[in-house]
Chain A
């Protein structure tokens, strides 16, 4: 029989991030379908508040690796904590949210346990008594359903796939697992966070809407001139008013980094597509994008998609968007901003 372990880090407020609550929901559902026991493993400076917040989730056991050494993200301590929790729980299936700390540390933890790992998992199917999962290959070009015989099997679940767990708070009894870090595990020190050199926070994973800006915004317009500063203001105003996350095609980001007049809001981190991100949002609005498949994988995981382009046969939209507005994005977005008000 499988034994399931859910792993999560506490965030600065001592609670679990949304991505973790989503994976928790997936783990609870899987445990019930496989009729397998579920334990939780929490990592952080002090996990009691997080454990209490999910006390009603039905897990059999709560384990924790706690302390200042585990408060911030660092490979050596994170891998040691995950390894210790998986050993203690005797887990055969380890589910964790695909956040940067786990993406960095779980592969090493899996190796130490002679386990295996799958990342970017986007579906779990416990059909019968063996689990199969789905993930994409070749950067969202094809989707595979697969099973594995090796255990423990570590699964990093992509954010935005499952609904976050909601339920009763309570008082959790947490079993502390001690991890003695070797001295060479402290050679790396967490210094802090830094925003890229763009003048606003433009990437918002939780946003309802992804706004994708293409290179058309910097191209010569009907009057024979580019209007980059105007484009920048329209984009900035829109993502601020609509609280949207900003994505960009590769062409536009590359221009940004190659000098000349550029849209200063953008950095490489905004790029979506095969060599960029593939974020998940309920809605997406693409403007001035033309890149054909396979580059349109940038909005593969957007549920409802609309596009604005001057070109009615735009490769980014036809067959890929629900609606294509054949119009000038400068005019449309100026009006949209006006309608959205302040």
Chain B
């Protein structure tokens, strides 16, 4: 019997969080100004899930990782220059917009179709990973819909910990309200785990993994299937930056006692 997990990580690119973002209205709806010029990173929560996948695969010999990414092909290639040095995976690129303004329903359909077509994927060993929400649309719904389309009924959102139990079951911690975790026990794969940060640091770059990955990644990128996802049925009336400039009163050279009194009075208001 084959062992190990088949881990499919869904994750795409988002603009580097430190970039200034400006919305623009295009012919097909809203987008970001100079979107294709903005430096991109792997979506942070999805990146955490990729690191968790690598860690799990290391513990379970015979495991394999796929990274399914829907984004502009040229930008995906750039992203791979860094990500591919961290974790060994097979890239499944889908060439389409990674914009936050596309519809999660469409994105999920494209991702599920790509996963459905993966040769050698053993569904009975499948763990579908990804981020609990993107830094673009930030809806937190895509993975559940991919899972539904693949017929997976065991799903977890905002996961921070996955522990394998001796009997092969999974013990999972999910973030819930009030800074608490929900603990669940799942009989085993197939399951969907949409990760929050988890507990692992970013793996260091390893040029050897990079070279090994790139041999497979470059041909995959060349053959990337077009995935022209959009948001049919949605009409955006406006997309604007918040007008959040406040008139800040700066209190300086005032004794600490007075400041403290003012703060306490304000808290008690």
A residues near B (Cβ < 8 Å) are 73-76, 79, 99-100, 103-108, 110-112, 116-120, 132, 136-150, 182, 184-185, 187-196, 201-205, 208-209, 242, 257-258, 267-270, 274-275, 283, 285, 294-295, 300, 304-306, 308, 312, 317-328, 331-332, 335-336, 338-340
Contacts and interface: CB of A to CB of B under 8 A. Distances in A.
Interface-centre pick from B32, B157, B256 (highest chain A CB count, 10 A): B256
B105 A318 contact: no
Given A116-B105, A193-B183, A332-B256, A111 B178 contact: no
B34 interface: no
B138 interface: yes
Contacts of A188: 154, 184-187
Contacts of B174: 100, 104
B248 A144 contact: no
B236 to A, nearest CB: 5
A141 B244 CA distance: 11
Contact of B251 (A105, A209, A258, A326): A326
Contact of A119 (B141, B236, B237): B141
A195 B181 CA distance: 6
B246 interface: yes
Contacts of A323: 248-251
A196 B238 CA distance: 40
Interface in B54-68: none
Q: Is the interface of B mostly helix, strand, loop or mixed?
A: mixed
Given A104-B144, A204-B178, A327 B266 contact: no
Q: Interface extent on B, as a size class?
A: 35 or more
B240 A203 contact: no
Contacts of B14: 138
A119 B154 contact: no
B140 A119 contact: yes
Interface stretch (B17-25, B86-94, B121-129, B220-228): B17-25
B140 A103 contact: yes
Nearest to B19: A294
B105 A112 contact: no
B264 A340 contact: yes
Nearest to A76: B153
Contact of B244 (A112, A268, A285, A320): A320
25 contacts: A75-B144, A75-B155, A100-B158, A107-B141, A108-B148, A111-B145, A116-B103, A132-B237, A138-B100, A141-B241, A144-B30, A144-B101, A146-B234, A187-B154, A189-B184, A191-B171, A191-B185, A196-B179, A209-B267, A269-B179, A294-B21, A306-B266, A319-B248, A332-B263, A336-B263
B17 A185 contact: no
A191 to B, nearest CB: 4
B111 interface: no
B120 interface: no
Contacts of B192: 75
Contacts of A193: 176, 180-183
Contacts of A267: 179
A201 B181 CA distance: 12
A336 B139 contact: no
A264 B199 CA distance: 16
A74 B153 CA distance: 10
Given A100-B157, A143-B240, A192-B183, A332 B259 contact: yes
B177 A305 contact: no
A326 B255 CA distance: 10
Given A111-B108, A116-B233, A143-B242, 20 more contacts: A76-B154, A103-B140, A104-B157, A107-B148, A119-B141, A120-B139, A139-B138, A143-B240, A148-B235, A242-B267, A294-B18, A300-B242, A300-B244, A308-B259, A321-B248, A323-B249, A326-B253, A327-B251, A336-B260, A339-B261
B179 A270 contact: yes
B187 A144 contact: no
B135 interface: yes
A104 B156 contact: yes
A294 B17 contact: yes
Interface-centre pick from A107, A190, A285, A317 (highest chain B CB count, 10 A): A107
Question: Which 5 residue pairs spanning A and B have beta carbons closest together?
Answer: A203-B179, A335-B260, A107-B141, A107-B144, A75-B155
B250 A142 contact: no
